[in-house]
Structure 1
């Protein structure tokens, strides 16, 4: 906090002469002003320039969904205070994008006047010194009053912001409360810092619950079968290993997912484990095969001879995460079974579908891609099924052959399958069952010979539970699921992806080592598509401007990510546990209870809440395991 605001005269002197009296200005403000001047921020502007809307903003919110779900209830508690005083409260993602804004209507109107709206990017590079952007840079709570703002557009504002970090120090986002200068309240800074602390504690508690839920869900895996199976958490550390794996890897509980490969295994397939509480991903269930069986059977599907060279039009890279996917695609391609490809936007789902087609017996037939999310609902039937001449007003003279018929003899790729409306789900299911299609306005059925590959960034199983996706269609499609890793899980492939993109487009682009290091430090929420967009920008910018462009785009995320500290993970010393006579399931359950007690500080009631079981059940288990 600062005792007094910077005078307008001091601000003008710095803007015009670059001179600042460091004894009369807070260090964080002076550091920010110098950054703004170095980055050529216009002090006479300061209104929002980069504003996301529609799908782009929805993606940002989805990327920060868990953070938003924890922050919004806390913000709602502030609503009476915010409205009474005349303020606005905001939730911001790690890149400085405003995900949510609410408050008193006059304050909102004033904010809109400077384009301070939902979806705007409110960083130092965009609008100069401000509480949000400077809190991200300084990594601490901060208050910016009046002419402490670098740009004149914010000189009549008083803003308070605090960054929110996870248990390992990585930035989750920022909470901000702002008002016109005359509405500033002396308790606001303390309120914002308390709010930030509450959200951080809620995040830590949720992560603990996620870990315990994942271990509890692992108990559902059959221990007596001969499958090689693992379950790992989001940090890629193992929490479960099947009996077959435990026989070969004695110290599995101390291992990461990648280290398993050193014991002669490779990953045949993986599936996300979704929380039953908040529906987000809490870990991964992994099926392994010994390396000698890399081209072994797929149960229930006769595999034809796998081609000696697997055709993939993208860049395969060298990462274990994507190599596993390619091996899985190689196994799937010769079959004729339906496939669902899961993956975030920009991970290359269509390339994966194309690879399945190109390496299948249908490779000589058509590959027809349909983006279900881009077709208006009222046009979807005619787009997929086609129509005959005169079927409806505006129909083409000779009719239209729908995508289903176009794909006859080949592969139909239905991207964003989760966007198909209920009525079309029924029609599509019928086509898949009967292998016949009837164009709109016709009574003649056409026989179909197609393979269907679907893709989505959504959780189809959750859509089934919510009633927005038919369970019979889900099971018809969900025969061979494939999960594509996000770019942040295959960062070692980034230099190769850049080289591939440049070669494909005939670009000459040489990146210095420090630039590659920066690129590989970023988490790329837009995945490969975002990476290629960055390459396009660097291609047209002079090289001396690359650093500024990259800094303005992603530096805040780079600087706020901390390395994973595996030592911080809670562990249990098995030497102090009486495990004599306990089977593996009981040992794992006992370990889960001990972890819950450790995380709750010894409180049985809190530990029972973390595990999601009644206290009476928890006490019985304490007695059973002599805890």
Structure 2
């Protein structure tokens, strides 16, 4: 079997077709011959599908969504096993007849040994996503096709099959392979999550917004921190093959002891933290594990602290959520704006009025949603959260509404209980509701009107009783005007609207720091306070990541200061200190430039530009200084009292052209 490496897949190497044609000739195939097609009989095909049941089960819903994206393009979606035998196909009716003429149907092998150069066989040989278009096929009979194929690997890196889109050559589109690659990776991630359901899983990426999406890295570890496996994205980010990673301990891969991650998961489930890869790249990561296999600190309620599975009003089993990090009372840390918001929310406590939480990313929208749930009569029922921006459009529907057995082209698979049914009796939190596709907005609107949900492929609507809390950083009214958000849904979810302030606008920074540090378990030996110098530096920062950034900075600094009484400046992450220094320097520079502007007034000379905006004054002054110092950025930054990054940002904006 082919093993996965850390090299990211290429679309198609220039020599891949020529090499594949050479292999076809060596195999004794003739381009003009008409191959003898003998598909497997029904019994043999069923046995083959059974041998590939895991691949088949996880691929079918993805194939369904992929087909929906390419429908009416005279094409079809195909799934094969590791040898290139087609297991299943979904196709446009007007293309099926043409496909049958070249035996593009279940039970037929499309390995290179049988069909010569073609996307399926060639992709499996090269273990790389491949496009074979028209005359690039070795057999003349197949030159009516344009095909895009991506291999599928199991959680241990072995190629177990392939996903392909084949169609009429006139329907060729350069973006088809990208869709196929993403769909194949989706299948791989599903297989990975199923295989390591009981392992410690670390989701990570250099960019926080990619956590929880198709592009996140996934790494799995045993209870003792032993590396188990990683998905394609993780291998690419590590820059190492799977075999090399299996010889490395957790701390060598992420820069912290395995125990710290377990404690972080127990202390703040679902929250991000900052880790460091062996390359030195800082990443955002989120850990998770099965509550049944790992012992975590007591979290309050007896049933929850034991990790006992319970059922909601529909009898759907779920593991009780950990006690929330906040209640309405604990969220009140002294800021007048926040206190006013909490007072408004408290007035609708126990009244199932939908709440819409607005605010910039990281301002604590989910914390508030959890507090609303915890302080309501529904607190004993589940709190179910779905980030509408973290899933591809084609997966949100299945994730939210669920699907019945056999919903996807008659597959013998278990159905999936959607988030809505999971939240029955409790609270459904839809984060980033502004990113929900219009089609799903229509379905959600129907659920809110009728209080029933019809799973995909189902025939019986399921009654649900839940409270809806939504959040977004988008301007929904503007989206309504643009036609990207439904007005009727907007008025269904905004019974009470509150807007959380950005961290830099709040007056309770010191209290927030204290509260966050108090949440750390005593057994960790982590400090419970910050020094006066650290707090002063915090006051100077702009906090673009808001509360989420503050929490991550404190978590990292606490680990660095483990065993001491308080966090000092040396314990803070370097990139955070640089950001603060840049912010302070920029503010000082602006003040200086404003003073220069006031002094010059209207007395400009013919040799000195007189820009009308302060940004132009800064650009002009930086340009003059750089020219006088022969482009020495460090010297210019020192003379102007700016951070070097500020000068570099000016240069990146094209300042050198002034």
TM-score range, shorter chain: 0.3 to 0.5
Normalised TM-score (structure 2): 0.37
Compare relative contact order (CA 8 Å, sep 6+) and give the higher one, 1 or 2: 1
